[in-house]
Amino acid sequence: MKKNLFAILLMIFAAVIAVGSVTVLGPCVHEDGSKGPCADAGKALLIDGCVMAILAILITMVNRRGLRMALFAAALCAAVIGILLPGVLMPLCKMDTMHCRAVMQPSMIILSGAAAVSALTGIITERSRKA
Amino acid sequence: MKRFSPVFRNLTRKPGRTTALILLTAFLALSLFAGTMVVSSLRRGLGSMENRLGADIIVVPAEAESKSSLKNMLLQGTIGTFYMDASAVDKVRETEGVQKASAQVFLSSMKADCCSVKVQIIGFDPENDFVVKPWIAESLNRPLGDMEIVIGNRVATDVGEIFRIYDQRCLVAARLAATGTGLDTAVYCNMNTMHALLEAAEEKGISHKIDTGNDAEVVSAIYVRTLPGADVGLVNNRLNGKIRKATAVRTTGMLTEVSDSLGGVSRTVAVLIAAVWILALVILFIAFAMMVNERRRELAVYRLVGMSRSMLSGMILKETALCSLAGAVCGVLLGALAVFPFTTLIETSLKLPYLAPGTGTVAAYAALAIAVTVAAGCAASLHTASKLSRVDPGSTLREGA
Amino acid sequence: MELRAENISRRYFRKRGEANFFEAVKPGSLILRSGEMTVLKGRSGSGKTTLLHMLAGLLQPSEGRVLLGDTDLYALEDNQLSRLRNEKIGVIPQGRSAVDTLTVYENIVLPGILYGGMPRTEAAEGWMEALDISSLRDAMPAELSGGELRRMAIARTLTADPAVILADEPTGDLDNENTEIVLNALKQAAKAGKAVLVVSHEDDAEAFADRVLHMENGNLTES
| Percent composition of chain B: helix, strand, coil (DSSP 3-state, to 5) | 60, 15, 25
Are the beta carbons of B394 and C59 separated by less than 8 Å?
Answer: yes
For residues B136-152, give the mean pLDDT.
86
**Percentage with pLDDT > 90 across chain A:** 60
| Residue A110 scores a pLDDT above 90 | yes
| Among the partner residues A28, A30, A97, nearest to B154 by beta-carbon distance | A97
* Predicted pLDDT at A121: 94
Supply the pLDDT for residue C8. 93
Cα–Cα distance measured from residue A115 to residue A127, given in angstroms and rounded to the nearest whole number: 18
Q: Write out pLDDT tens, residues B172-191.
A: 998 888 877 777 888 899 98
Confidence of residue C15 (pLDDT cuts 50, 70, 90): low
Q: What is the pLDDT of residues A91-108, one digit of tens each?
A: 888 777 788 888 999 999
Task: In whole angstroms, give the CA distance from residue B22 to residue B377.
Answer: 10
B305/C102 CB distance under 8 A: no
C68: domain range? 3-222
C-beta atoms surrounding B114 within 10 Å? 20
Measure the CA–CA gap between C91 and C73, rounded to whole angstroms: 15
Per the model's pLDDT, the better-predicted residue between B132 and B335 turns out to be B335
Residue B65 confidence (pLDDT) above 80:
no
Q: Identify the CA nearest to C48 among candidates C179, C216, C205.
A: C216
* β-sheet bridge partners, residue C215: C42, C220
Residue C188 has φ and ψ, to the nearest 5°, of -60, -40
Instruction: For chains A and B, count residue pairs whose Cβ atoms are closer than 8 Å.
Output: 61
Q: Quote the pLDDT of residue C51.
A: 92
Residue B332 and residue B280: Cα distance in Å, rounded? 16
Helix (H) or strand (E) holding C30: strand C21-32
Using pLDDT thresholds of 50, 70 and 90, give the confidence band for residue A32: low
Q: What is the pLDDT of residue C16?
A: 62
Q: Do C94 and B401 touch (CB under 8 A)?
A: yes
What's the pLDDT score for residue C18?
A: 58
Q: Cβ B341–A109 below 8 Å, yes or no? A: yes
Q: Which of B116, B153, B184 sits opposite A98 (nearest CB)?
A: B116
Check if the beta carbon of residue B26 is closer than 8 Å to that of residue B268: no
Amino acid letter for position C167? A
In chain C, residues with a C-beta closer than 8 Å to the C-beta of B400 are: 95
Of chain A, the percentage scoring pLDDT greater than 70 comes to: 94
DSSP 8-state secondary structure symbol assigned to residue C201: S
* Contact between chain A and chain C (3 or more Cβ pairs less than 8 Å apart): no
pLDDT category of residue C97 using cuts at 50, 70 and 90: confident
Report yes or no: B114 and A94 within 8 Å, Cβ to Cβ. Answer: yes
Maximum average pLDDT range among A99-113, B98-112, B342-356: A99-113
Q: Is-contact C166 C52, C-beta < 8 A?
A: yes
Strands B186-190 and B120-124 come out as parallel
| CB contact at 8 A, B331 and B21 | no
Please, which residues bridge with residue B101 across strands?
B224
**Closest alpha carbon within chain B to C91:** B304
Average pLDDT, stretch C126-153? 91
How many domains in chain A? 1
Q: Work out the widest C-alpha separation in chain B, in whole angstroms.
A: 104
C200 DSSP β-pair partners: C41
Rounded to an integer, what distance in angstroms lies between the CA atom of residue B150 and that of residue B139? 9
More confident residue, C103 or B356: C103
Q: Torsion over CA of B164, B166, B170 and B176, rounded to 10 degrees?
A: -80
Q: CB-CB: which of A37, A96, A101 is closest to B115?
A: A37
pLDDT at B388 over 90: no
Domains contained in chain C, number: 1
Vertex C198 angle, CA C194 and C204, to 5°: 120
**Average pLDDT of span C173-202:** 89
Residue partners of C5: CB distance under 8 A and separation at least 6 = C28, C29, C30, C31, C51, C54, C55, C61, C64, C65, C66, C67
**Cβ-nearest to B9 among C101, C119, C160:** C101
Domain range summary for chain B, segments of one domain joined by +: 6-47+258-398, 52-250
Query: Are the beta carbons of C86 and B297 separated by less than 8 Å?
Result: no
pLDDT band at B401 (very low <50, low <70, confident <90, very high): very low
B130-139, B330-339, B363-372, range with the lowest pLDDT: B130-139
- Judging contacts by C-beta atoms under 8 Å, the chain B residues touching residue A103 are 342, 345
Q: Distance between CA B181 and CA B74 in Å, rounded? A: 6
pLDDT recorded at residue B163: 83
Q: Which residues make Cβ contacts (< 8 Å) with residue B327, sequence separation at least 6?
A: B21, B22, B23, B24, B25, B26, B27, B28, B29, B373, B377
pLDDT score recorded for residue A107:
93
Whether C170 has a pLDDT exceeding 80, the answer reads yes
The answer to whether the Cβ–Cβ distance between B3 and C59 falls below 8 Å is: no
**What does the pLDDT read at residue B134?**
81
Nearest CB neighbour to A93, from listed B116, B342, B347? B116
Task: Please list, in sequence order, all residues whose beta carbon lies within 8 angstroms of the beta carbon of residue B154, skipping any fewer than 6 positions away.
Answer: A95, A96, A97, B178, B184, B185, B344
pLDDT digits (tens, 9 = 90+) for B273-293: 888 888 888 888 888 878 777
Helix axes B309-339, C78-88, angle to 10 degrees: 100
Q: Check residue B115 and give left, alpha or beta (phi > 0: left; psi -120 to 50: alpha).
A: left
Report the residue of chain B nearest A35, measured CA to CA.
Answer: B116
Phi, psi of A30 (to 5 degrees): -75, 165
Distance CA B95, CA C207 (A): 118
Measured CB to CB, residues of chain B less than 8 Å from chain C are 1-4, 6, 9-10, 13-14, 297-298, 300-311, 392-394, 397-398, 400-401
* Distances, alpha carbon B75 to alpha carbons B44, B117, B346, in Å: 14, 17, 13
Q: How many CB atoms lie within 10 A of CB C138?
A: 9
Helix-, strand-, coil-residue percentages of chain A, each rounded to 5: 70, 5, 25
Please report which confidence band the pLDDT of residue C164 belongs to, taking 50, 70 and 90 as the band edges.
very high
Tens digit of each residue's pLDDT (9 = 90 or more) over C24-64: 888 899 999 999 999 999 888 888 989 999 999 988 999 99
Length of chain B in terms of residues written: 401
Question: Distance between CA B184 and CA B177 in Å, rounded?
Answer: 8
What's the pLDDT at B113? 46
pLDDT score of B359 more than 60 = yes
Q: Which residues contact A51 (CB under 8 A, 6 or more apart)?
A: A14, A78
A14-18, B50-54, B65-69, range with the lowest pLDDT = B65-69
Does position C118 have pLDDT exceeding 90, yes or no?
A: no
Chain B residue nearest residue A87, CA to CA? B156
Instruction: Say if residue A9's pLDDT is above 50.
Output: yes
pLDDT given for residue B112 in this prediction: 46
B305 to B302, B324, C84, C112, C114: CA distances (angstroms): 5, 28, 10, 9, 9
Q: Average pLDDT for residues C82-92, to the nearest whole number?
A: 94
φ, ψ dihedrals at C87, nearest 5°: -90, -35
- Residue A128 reports pLDDT greater than 90: no
Q: How far apart (Å, rounded) are the C-alpha atoms in residues B119 and B360?
A: 33
B-chain residues near A29 (CB < 8 A): none
Q: Is the pLDDT of residue B114 over 50?
A: no
Vertex B387 angle, CA B381 and B389, to 5°: 100
Beta strands B221-226 and B98-108, pairing class: antiparallel
Greater confidence (A38 vs A131) lies with A38
The string of pLDDT tens digits covering residues B189-245 is 998 898 888 888 888 777 666 655 555 678 888 889 888 888 888 998 888 888 888
A7 — pLDDT class (breaks 50, 70, 90):
very high
Question: Mean pLDDT score of chain B, rounded to an integer?
Answer: 83
Question: Measuring CA to CA, how many Å separate A122 from each of A3, A65, C217?
Answer: 9, 11, 68
- Name, of B118-132, B208-222, C113-127, the range with top average pLDDT: C113-127
Helix (H, G, I), strand (E, B) or coil at B8: helix
Judge contact between A65 and B87, C-beta under 8 A: no
Look up the domain containing A121 and give its range.
Answer: 5-128
Closest CA to C108 of C145, C151, C147: C151
% chain C with pLDDT above 70: 98
- Quick check: helix, strand or coil at residue A60? helix
pLDDT at B13: 87
pTM, two decimals, is 0.78
CA distance B349 to chain C (A): 49
Min Cα–Cα distance to chain B from C177, Å: 22
Closest CA in chain C for residue B8: C101
What average pLDDT does this structure show over A79-101? Answer: 87
The answer to whether C154 touches C182, Cβ cutoff 8 Å, is yes
Average pLDDT (C117-123) is: 88
B201-225 CB burial, b ≥16 within 10 A, e <16: beeeeeebebeeeeeebbbbbbbbb
Q: With an 8 Å Cβ cutoff, are C101 and B10 in contact?
A: yes
Predicted confidence at residue B59, as pLDDT, reads: 87
Q: What share of chain C is helix, strand, coil (3-state, %, to 5)?
A: 40, 30, 35
